Amino acid sequence: MFLTGTMQINAAGHLEIGGCDAVELAKQYGTPLYIMDEALIRQNCAAYRDTLAALYPESQVAYAGKAFLTTAMCRLVAEEGLALDVASGGEIYTAHVAGFPAGRLIYHGNNKTPDEIRFALEIGVGRFVVDSMSELELLNELAAAAGKTASILIRVKPGIEAHTHHYIQTGQMDSKFGLGLADGQALAAVETALKMKHIQFIGLHCHIGSQIFDLKPFQLAVQVMMDFIQEIRKKTGALVRELDLGGGFGIRYLRDDKPHSLKEFIELIATTVKAKAAAHNLPVPKLLVEPGRSIVGEAGTTLYTVGTIKDVPGIRRYVAVDGGMTDNLRTALYEAKYEAIVANKANAPAEDKVTIAGRACESGDILIRDIELPRLERGDLLAVLCTGAYHYSMSNNYNRYPRPAVVFVRDGRSDVVVKRETYADIIRNDVIPPCFQQSV
Ligand code: LLP
């Protein structure tokens, strides 16, 4: 059976995560429910932090908050000594309210608004990752108005195509993110930044994509970026002090997925940076990585209750659960594939091939196609695995379904970190204009 982190099957034949029986969690908190294995998240943070520090002391791991962010998660990331990659005013606000040290925030985004930038300047985010020339000019102006200097990394498109779903590829030339190398835009931005009064040019950033299994594109990206650092030195005399390589390291979703070990990945990028620095006779830059999925992905499980079961004779059996594309948009967006366990009868033999359907008004709302599972009936609990990254963070209220709660589990205890939405939450921002009120 495919189990992750602290998962085990207990004496009752129930799935247990973080020492908590999933059947009990469903009773206590209802379903759908996002369950996060806190020990596994912390273990992943520590693995990144310690592996990188051992091989490359001048380094920093920044957790990519877009994968999963709540105020409690900000606290955990701060406790584990990581920096935090934020990509919107909302993410900055979450970190700020949680008391996350602003100096450890790295602020991304291809269209930061003036209000967002002002907010980021006000609380003192550590790094702005500048994505365009237009943003550079805006940032310099707003920093001047605030009487501050913004420390920046410039986001570069290294021109590398990583093998992943094309919606989550970002490093290639035809991308909305970053500034091109081949067309000279990245160099022009560096030259401009160096002349600006309210900008301090610190370094470069790139991110080639997400859920990448092949290590070669990461190595290529490092080489391209180090060559660019050399070019910058030659053409401007400026030293690039930090190199941020983004995220993208792939994880297991299916039992046959075989990602490389984290150590192999870190070793490869660390040795490539060092080798290139030596070849160019450059001081080694501070190295940053921004993992999201590989910190939280395998630590998340979504628990659903089985409802309607419908046979389409000779074709398939649809088993509908009480969630779907509203809590897991990845199936509809990327045709993502998942494994599942029947949490209340985890030891029962697989004897039925079924398709797990969501309950949204959309034919494409299918969670898992053709999966072999024990015979299911209404009320059974289905645990879909590896849903920690880009699930809660991409959840939505389509059909006005309230979003699920999120619980952290650890050592037999469970804590709500996001409350389940209520119907009242659903209409919280609805307004009936006064002129309508006579009409019912
Ligand atoms: N840094 C930057 C600048 C990013 O854009 C991303 C992800 C990361 C770091 C973290 O990448 P990770 O380690 O998680 O692969 N919604 C898609 C993934 C979109 C990734 C966006 N950027 C999905 O569900 O697969």
Ligand 1 touching residue 108 (CB < 6 A): yes
Report if pTM > 0.85: yes
DSSP, residue by residue, 343-409: TTSTTSPP-EEEEEE--SS-TT-EEEEEEEESPP-TT-EEEEES-SSSSGGG---GGGPPPPEEEEE
In 3D space, the residue among 391, 231, 407 whose CA is nearest the CA of residue 324 turns out to be 391
pLDDT for res 168: 60
CB of 85 shorter than 6 A to ligand 1: yes
User: pLDDT (tens digit, 0 to 9) for every residue of the chain, 440 residues total?
Assistant: 899 999 999 999 999 999 999 999 999 999 999 999 999 999 999 999 999 999 999 999 999 999 999 999 999 999 999 999 999 999 999 999 999 999 999 999 999 999 999 999 999 999 999 999 999 999 999 999 999 999 999 999 999 877 666 666 666 788 899 999 999 999 999 999 999 999 999 999 999 999 999 999 999 999 999 999 999 999 999 999 999 999 999 999 999 999 999 999 999 999 999 999 999 999 999 999 999 999 999 999 999 999 999 999 999 999 999 999 999 999 999 999 999 999 999 999 999 999 999 999 999 999 999 999 999 999 999 999 999 999 999 999 999 999 999 999 999 999 999 999 999 999 999 999 998 977 66
What does the DSSP assignment read for 116-156? Answer: HHHHHHHHT-SEEEE-SHHHHHHHHHHHHHHT--EEEEEEE
Residue 310 identity (one-letter amino acid): K
Go through the chain and tell me how many residues it has: 440
Q: Is the CB of 155 under 6 A from ligand 1?
A: no
Catalytic one of 45, 206, 361, 386: 361
Q: What is the DSSP letter of 169?
A: B
Q: Which of 210, 265, 294 to mutate to test the pocket of ligand 1 (most atoms within 8 A of CB)?
A: 210
User: Do 394 and 330 contact (CB within 8 A), yes or no?
Assistant: yes
Compute, in angstroms, the gap from residue 292 CA to the centroid of ligand 1. Answer: 6
165 CA: nearest ligand 1 atom: 25
Do 171 and 157 touch, CB atoms closer than 8 A?
A: yes
CA distance linking residue 260 with residue 30, whole number of Å: 36
- Using the mean position of ligand 1's atoms as its centre, give its distance from the Cα of residue 65 in Å: 9
Annotated catalytic residue 206: no
Q: Which atom of ligand 1 is nearest to the CA of 330?
A: 24
Is residue 383 within 8 Å of residue 22, measured between CB atoms? yes
Going by C-beta distance under 8 Å and a sequence separation of 6 or more, which residues neighbour residue 177? Answer: 110, 131, 155, 157, 170, 207
Ligand 1 atom closest to 295 (CA):
13
Amino acid at 306: V
What is the CB-side half-sphere exposure of residue 352 using CA atoms within 13 A? 17
**Among candidates 132, 258, 233, which has minimal Cα distance to 186?**
132
